[in-house]
Structure 1
Amino acid sequence: MVVSFRRRAGLAAVAGAVTTCMFAPVGLVLAGPLALLGLTLALRGARLPAAAGIGVVFGGVFSFSLLWWMRAVGTDAWIALSLIETAYFLLLGPVVALVQRLPGWPLWVAAAWVSYEELRAGWPFGGFPWGRLAFGVMDTGFAPLLPYLGTAGVGFVVALLGTVTAWVVVRVAELRRTGGNDALRDRRALGGLVAPYVAVGAVVLLAAVRPYEAPSGGEVVEVAAVQGDVPGAGDDVVPVHREVTQNHVESTIELGAAVDAGEEPEPRFVVWPENSTAVDPFLDRRTRTEIDAAVSAVGVPVVVGGMVDAVDDEQVLNQGIVWDPTTGPGDRYAKRHPVPFGEYIPFRNAWFTSVVEDFDLIPRDMLSGVRTTPLDVAGVQVGNAICFDVAYDDGFREQVGAGAEMLTVQTSNAMFIRTHQIDQQFEMTRMRALESGKYLVVAAINGVSGIIRPDGTVAATIDTRTQGVVAGEVVLNDAVSPAMRYGAGIALVLGATTLLAALGGLLRGRIGRRSMTPSGGARSAGAAPDERAEAHDAAGEGPATTTRERVG
């Protein structure tokens, strides 16, 4: 039985759509394993050119549906980003087809998926990691694995559940073909089908029974986050940026008055969101005067989110600036991962970028920050991230390793305030708190702001599209979770495993083709032997009988 490309592509399309259901607004965690089940079966036994096409079908449906919220920027931006994300599957499809030629292939397919996620999260132009499987596991049985295994390790476990299920489907088909229903009643056969689930379940259960516990004996400090809101429609900061800054100033002054009146506890420091000032506060006298007034009123440092001009007037830095009531601006963190084609334009002077009129809305390129150590804010070591930085592993990992005692996220995703991007990013933020075992305070310009505990639960929050302050106690700790310590190594091992498995699958295919060639050097008439083998394999019928086997 030959499985047509149309049937494979149809299965891949369904699997791509199912993958998106793992994330907000659906939030169905089993969609991840189900998607890997469908993708694996769609690619099983496929020839490499066809596998590339099948991968693109899966990737296209997944990317275009997952990134639907990007239409808030523009339909052209949504299409362009989705096409870039789809292109990665040109490689993933053939790799998944190759590694399925090897024994133990469920492991290698799961590793290949994680390797694809890692590649997409780092290359090109710094990558774009949206849609990693680990981003959809909060409030599920997989979540306790995060502080132990990190995003790569958890993604591998979720993917493995799907690839193991694909192996079971293939194995059941083989048993039925060779022994009928009697084979499926054999205890040894049934035990073999159940064993992989027991292994995956044991890993998940172990983390649930012995969850990672962040140290609880550290200093307790009060921290506040200001959400100034965006006047008008709420989705465009630029035209009302001075009103936005004034809103943050007013809320901070009100907080200071409440503290002076004994109505609120004094915070150790205050966090403003990204773009709380959209002009350089060092050069714009009005903005600096307003910030000074707010910081003086509250009497504690404020981490201000500001756009700071670089030495080159054609570039800008997106920074979190520690503004002290006595000494003024001091320690800074600059956004590490500006969004390509959103905050800077690669190949700005090339013809293919000059034809896109919307790029004129980005007159200056945002530079990438390089800081790897936490900010010192009122004596607290604070690991910071700005907006999409939270989707990347490296920033928090390095700052936690350098002694961060808590985490903050400054974000201005007002452009997406009416989309599911807001919920998806907040889930990532919760995941980072759990992964690191740290309290995390997030200040958003108009949502979602809040305080998240080390177990990923939300201690306090404020409604979106409102102006106000969210405050609460934070327990400091400088412990480094296993995920923060070993997460990069796990990703590296899975990447190396994928590379070796792909090479092994390629070599096995060549050896198989040679073994099918008669000693005289000519192949028998009809379909190519590897085509017959792959077709039977894809249908769950086992390898086809070769010419050499027939002649003895």
Structure 2
Amino acid sequence: MKTFGHWLTYPWRRTAVAALAGALPVLAFPAPALWWWAYLALVPWILLARSAPTGRRAAYDGWSGGFGFMLAMHHWLLPSLHVFTLVIAALLGALWAPWAWLVRRFLTADVIPSRGRVFAALLVLPSAWLAIELVRSWQGLGGPWGMLGASQWQVEPALRLASVGGVWLLSFLVVAVNVSAAVLVSVPASRAPAVAGLVATAATASAAWMWAPRPDADGQARIAVVQPGVIDGPDSRFDREEQLTRRLVGQDVDLIVWGESSVGYDLDDRPDLARRLAELSRVTGADILVNVDARRSDRPGIYKSSMLIGAEGPTGDRYDKMRLVPFGEYIPARSLLGWATSVGKAAGEDRRRGTEQVVMEAGHGLRIGPMVCFETAFPDMSRHLAGDGADVLVAQSSTSSFQQSWAPAQHASLGALRAAETGRPFVHSTLTGVSAVYDASGRRVGSRLGTEASTTAVYDVPLADGVTPYVRYGDWPVHGALLVLLVLALTEGARTVRPRRTAPAPLVPPARTAHESPARPWR
């Protein structure tokens, strides 16, 4: 009877299984949001790479699994980018090839891993995973969408840990737990170090959870979100946003936030729109943060700009989006990859980038740190805004192209992590949902606005003071992971070049032939 292991000896079958194993972690993210699944989701992938007959085959398992992970995490791009989504997933999937090679290196099924090797795996494999997340965090490679630690956005103890080491620390711990679980399942003789690793992980996490400072309450801001819904055309959208904003008259709000691309014209070219916005600010008694997606009149190119509007019109506070969505807002190496526009909804013209982040001061002394859409996936951007004195982090977004997918819910969940990391409340305002607000600990404030809603919502947002360890010390888990990999590389390199001292081979007499006399000794 053929076993499953024998069935896996066929390369294409093994590749398909690896891709499926790599896709499993996506169930821990919204919309399924099975957060507990993240702590087991990597086990099948680890067991497959561990059983690879060679290091090269393990690397292929890593590449295939990485392809499955990236495709599952970005499957909602298929209607827009079509076959190019597969190309991107295949290219980025290669980042996991060294990780799977290391899995086999430390947990190979050919021998029983020693206690020291298991302990090393609990340090090296999570570190290697963080290195992958660091590389793909570059916006040119798609940015840090789907970082493994982001699956824990609704777990309060995990959010507390995020204030210590950011989403990076959560990713490290999740991978470490998966490695321990894989050892417990597959290597009975090494269960003791695996259990010790789990205990150490739990103890470290508990100590950090207890030590992490809580945000200090510092007043309250009343912030309104305007979500018009899916409306075609900038004029109709503006009319609907204006209508919804008038509902806020008399509600004593401190700030009104419109979504990404809420204004489709440069306000210098359309003073009539600027006057209408100023009049809305006067009647509501609050500044309005809009987002202009238009060709600028004062410089060439199209920008996405967050602009603060007061009772007298634009206040002069402006933030131009810095990190653009690859293929959605620009095409990397357009001369080489410009053909993507012929197979999907890739950007026909590259938008221009801003050069620096901005903290704006709205009415009532409220300091806000704006970000636009994709930028909420980058933990460093919210960290810098908090360090520069922002009282509230505000994200303006639009996911109208992906309404029926998992993208809106996953995008909104990132606000919880950014709030917990920085100790600042987070307002996620979208054109079409999901809009949500989180307090400084990452807990949701009020109810969210789903993709079916066209309405306004007012949130009493608790403000907070103080500096979290993550804001103070930055991406220290990443630095620690890179140090671990550097030590590993130096150790392996030294082992490779170390002179090998071997004893001289003993003299062995040659075999006698039938013609030689057995009585004559060999000299």
Indicate whether the TM-score tops 0.5.
yes
Q: Which runs of 5+ in 1 are unaligned?
A: 176-189, 232-238, 521-552
2:18 maps to 12
What TM-score comes out, normalization by structure 2 length? 0.84
Secondary structure of the residue that 1:409 maps to in structure 2?
strand
- Aligned CA distance change for structure 1 residues 408 and 360 (closer, same or farther; 3 Å): closer
1:219 aligns with 2:219: yes
What's the counterpart of residue 84 of structure 1?
91
1:364–1:8 Cα change, 3 Å: closer
* Structure 2 equivalent of residue 38 of structure 1: 44
Query: Which residue matches 2:348?
Result: 363
SS at match of 1:31: helix
Match status 1:277 vs 2:260: no
CA deviation after TM superposition for structure 1 residue 98, in Å: 4.8
> Could you tell me which residue of structure 1 aligns to residue 508 of structure 2?
none
Distance 1:359 1:26, change over 3 A: closer
Instruction: Using the aligned pairs only, state the percent identity.
Output: 23
Counterpart residue number, 2:244: 251
Aligned partner (choices 466, 473, 478) of residue 460 of structure 2 = 473
**Cα deviations by residue, 1:419-449 (Å, 9 ceiling, x for unpaired):** 1101111111122112222211121102122
Whether the 8 Å contact between 2:223 and 2:255 is mirrored in structure 1 is yes
Does structure 1 residue 52 correspond to structure 2 residue 38?
A: no
The letter for the 1-side match of 2:347 is: I
The one-letter code of the counterpart of 1:230 is: V
> Cα RMSD over matched residues?
3.1
CA distance in 2, matches of 1:359, 1:285: 35
CA gap 1:309/1:359 in 2 versus in 1, 3 angstroms: farther
1:407 maps to a residue whose letter is L
- Show CA shifts across 1:492-548 (max 9, x none): 221232243245346546779x79x9966xxxxxxxxxxxxxxxxxxxxxxxxxxxx
The aligned residue for residue 294 of structure 1 is 280
Q: Does structure 1 residue 489 correspond to structure 2 residue 476?
A: yes
Aligned 8 A contact 1:220 1:473 in 2: yes
Q: CA deviation at 1:8?
A: 6.1
Task: Determine if contact 1:138/1:431 at 8 Å carries over to the other structure.
Answer: yes
Q: Is residue 345–residue 359 contact of structure 1 (8 Å, CA) maintained in 2?
A: no
1:323-402 alignment, distance < 5 Å = 323-326=309-312, 328-350=314-336, 352-354=337-339, 356-357=341-342, 362-378=347-363, 379-402=365-388
Candidates 116, 119, 143, aligned match of 1:128:
143
| Aligned residue number for residue 548 of structure 1 | none
Specify which structure has the bigger relative contact order, considering alpha-carbon pairs within 8 angstroms and separated by 6 or more residues. Answer: 1
Residue 196 of structure 1 corresponds to 197
Aligned residue type for 1:490? P
Q: Tell me if 1:403 matches 2:403.
A: no
**1:385 CA displacement:** 1.4
Q: 2:69 aligns with which of 62, 81, 103?
A: 62
Count, aligned residues: 487
Report the secondary structure of 1:229's partner residue. Answer: coil
How far did 1:389 drift? 0.6
Structure 1 counterpart SS, 2:57: helix
Residues 74 and 373 (structure 1), Cα distance of their counterparts in 2 relative to 1, 3 Å cut: closer
Q: Which residue of 1 aligns with 2:513?
A: none
2:518 alignment counterpart: none
Aligned position for 1:451:
437
Q: Is the 8 A contact 1:8 1:43 kept in 2?
A: no
Unaligned residue ranges in structure 2 (runs of 5+): 109-115, 506-523
- 1:242 equivalent to 2:235? Answer yes
Shift of 1:74: 3.8
- Identify which of 267, 277, 289 aligns with 2:253: 267
Query: Hey, what does 1:186 align to over in structure 2?
Result: none
Alignment deviations for residues 295-348 of structure 1 (CA, whole Å, 9 cap, x no partner)? 233232111111243579762221110111125241112222101111012222
Structure 1 residue 151, shift from structure 2 partner: 0.9
SS of corresponding position for 2:474:
helix
| 1:438–1:476 CA contact under 8 A, matched in 2 | yes
Selected match of 2:161 from 136, 142, 145: 145
CA distance 1:519–1:327, change in 2 (3 Å):
farther
Q: Does residue 205 in structure 1 map to residue 212 in structure 2?
A: no
Q: Work out the CA distance in 2 between the residues paired with 1:32 and 1:431.
A: 16
Larger Rg: 2
Q: Distance in 2 between matches of 1:331 and 1:358?
A: 39
Using the TM superposition, give the Cα deviation of residue 284 of structure 1 relative to its aligned residue in structure 2, in angstroms: 2.9
Q: Secondary structure at the match of 2:83?
A: helix
Quote how far apart the aligned CAs of 1:10 are: 6.0
CA contact (8 A) 2:307 2:314 kept: no
**Aligned counterparts of 1:359 and 1:97: Cα–Cα separation in 2:** 39
Q: Which string of whole-angstrom CA distances, capped at 9 and with x for unpartnered residues, describes residues 126-177 of structure 1?
A: 64211111110123353331112211111101111111223344541x46xx
Give a deviation string over 1:260-292, Cα, whole Å, max 9, x none: xxxx2x111211111101222222344334323
2:112 alignment counterpart: none
Q: Tell me the amino acid that sits aligned with residue 56 of structure 1.
A: W
Answer with 199-208 or 386-395: which moved more.
199-208
Letter in 1 for 2:214: E
State how far apart, in whole Å, the 2-side matches of 1:501 and 1:282 are: 57
Following superposition, the deviation at residue 356 of structure 1 comes to: 4.0
SS at match of 1:332: strand
Give the CA deviation at 1:214. Answer: 0.9
Secondary structure at the aligned position of 2:42 is classed as helix
1: CA distance, partners of 2:405 / 2:503: 61
Contact 2:419/2:425 (CA < 8 Å) preserved in 1?
A: yes
Which amino acid in structure 2 is aligned with residue 78 of structure 1? T
The answer to whether residue 335 in structure 2 is matched with residue 320 in structure 1 is no
Letter in 1 for 2:283: A
Q: Could you tell me whether the CA contact under 8 Å between 2:46 and 2:100 is conserved in 1?
A: no
Residues in 1 aligned to 2:97 and 2:393: alpha-carbon distance in whole angstroms:
37
Partner residue in 2 for 1:94: 101
C-alpha change, 1:474 and 1:284, in structure 2 (3 Å) is same
Given the superposition, is the C-alpha separation of residues 428 and 468 from structure 1 closer, same or farther in structure 2, using an over 3 Å criterion? same
TM score, norm. by length of structure 1? 0.80
1 CA distance for matches of 2:361 and 2:294?
20
Q: Work out the CA distance in 2 between the residues paired with 1:142 and 1:8.
A: 34
Residues 193 and 92 of structure 1: is their aligned pair in 2 closer, same or farther, counting only changes over 3 Å? closer
* Alignment of structure 1 residues 143-182 onto 2, 5 Å: 143-169=159-185, 171-172=187-188, 174=189
Q: For the Cα contact (< 8 Å) 2:278–2:313, is it kept in 1?
A: no
Instruction: Quote the Cα distance in structure 1 between the aligned partners of 2:309 and 2:419.
Output: 25
Cα distance in 2 between the residues matched to 1:274 and 1:373:
17
* Contact 2:266/2:292, CA 8 A, preserved across alignment: yes
Write the deviation string for residues 97-141 of structure 1: whole angstroms up to 9, x where unpaired. 456698312210011011111111116x26421111111012335
Take 1:58 and 1:275, find their aligned partners in 2: how far apart are those partners? 36
Displacement of 1:30: 3.6
What's the offset of the Cα at 1:202? 1.6
Amino acid across the alignment from 1:19: P
Matched residues in 2 for 1:289 and 1:312: separation? 19
Q: For the Cα contact (< 8 Å) 1:121–1:128, is it kept in 2? A: yes
Question: How far, CA to CA, are the matches of 1:209 and 1:489 in structure 2?
Answer: 19
Question: In the TM superposition, what is the alpha-carbon distance from 1:5 to its structure 2 partner?
Answer: 7.3
Amino acid at match of 2:165: L
Query: Residues 275, 327 of structure 1: CA spacing in aligned structure 2 closer, same or farther, 3 A cutoff?
Result: closer
Distance of aligned partners of 1:74 and 1:355 in 2 relative to their CA distance in 1, 3 Å threshold: closer
Change (3 A) 1:485 1:100: farther
